[in-house]
Amino acid sequence: MKNLLRELCCCSCLAALFLLASCNNAKNDAARVTQRLKVLILGNSITYSAPQEDIGWYGAWGMAASSEKTDFVHVLREYLEKDGRYDPVSIVSHNINGWERTFRMDSLRFADIYTQDYDVVILRLGENVDQDALSFENYESALTGLIDGVKGRAKVIITGTVWQSHQAKDAIQEKVAGAHRYTYVSFDDMKTEDSYFAYGLYEHPGVAAHPSDRGMARIAGELYRRIAE
């Protein structure tokens, strides 16, 4: 009888352990559930620049980053992929500096931004907008229209500029974000910190004024935080 009771007790313990293990596995499986994440980034040469040998730029990624993997687009992708909640991660990025100067989009060249659905749309631009031009009075409506054309149901993030003396543009970009309940990201803290830029790393001052690897990581980190929150 004692042996029988002992065996029954052992069986009960094993069953309990098995049930506990099954519950833990179920929790782990639930924790591994991921979601697709498709991101659209509309930017300028900080986002992507083709080689421009006349100014000493030979890369084909975010200008002044030391390599493709250290520009903010690729660092952001790495952060999102390592997060564990997103799979697959897709980032579509375009340099639309022509729009910054004219407020007109080349709809044929960038047709894909209007025909796809995105989960997040990021506006990381503004540096090339001429705040002294007569057309600047149309910037708010132009930016609003640009976003309306691509956002769908996406979460929209608008960043400020990274250069000094661009306060008027930053104010409008923040105003558009506030009016439509978009997320606004300020990079004012970067503007007076030289280590965020590639000064001394490139001879051409225009290239050197772009974010260094540290600056690119700063941009990527802030965007990742806002996407993941």
Mean pLDDT for each consecutive 10-residue tract of the chain (229 residues)?
45 45 47 86 99 98 99 99 97 98 93 94 98 93 97 98 94 98 98 98 98 99 97
- 43: domain CATH number is 3.40.50.1110
Residues 39 and 12 in one domain: no
Residues 148 and 65 in one domain: yes
pLDDT of residue 2: 45
Residues 86 and 163 in one domain: yes
pLDDT of residue 16: 47
Q: Measured between alpha carbons, how far is 72 from 210 in angstroms, rounded to an integer?
A: 12
Residues 9 and 99 in one domain: no
Q: Measured between alpha carbons, how far is 74 from 62 in angstroms, rounded to an integer?
A: 9
Residues 27 and 64 in one domain: no
pLDDT of residue 34: 86
Q: Measured between alpha carbons, how far is 92 from 136 in angstroms, rounded to an integer?
A: 28
Residues 88 and 166 in one domain: yes
Residues 111 and 6 in one domain: no
Residues 9 and 90 in one domain: no
| Cα separation of the two ends of the chain | 60
Angle made by CA atoms 188, 194, 198, in degrees to the nearest 5: 110
Residues 47 and 26 in one domain: no
Residues 26 and 46 in one domain: no
pLDDT of residue 32: 59
Residues 25 and 54 in one domain: no
The amino acid at residue 188 is D
Domain that holds residue 49: 35-228
Number of H helices, E strands in the chain: 8, 5
pLDDT of residue 27: 47
Q: How many domains does the chain have?
A: 2
pLDDT of residue 3: 47
pLDDT of residue 31: 52
Half-sphere exposure of 126 (CA within 13 A, CB side): 27
Q: What is the pTM of this model?
A: 0.86
The amino acid at residue 130 is D
For residues 48 and 73, is the Cβ–Cβ distance under 8 A? yes
Q: Measured between alpha carbons, how far is 99 from 126 in angstroms, rounded to an integer?
A: 10
Residues 27 and 112 in one domain: no
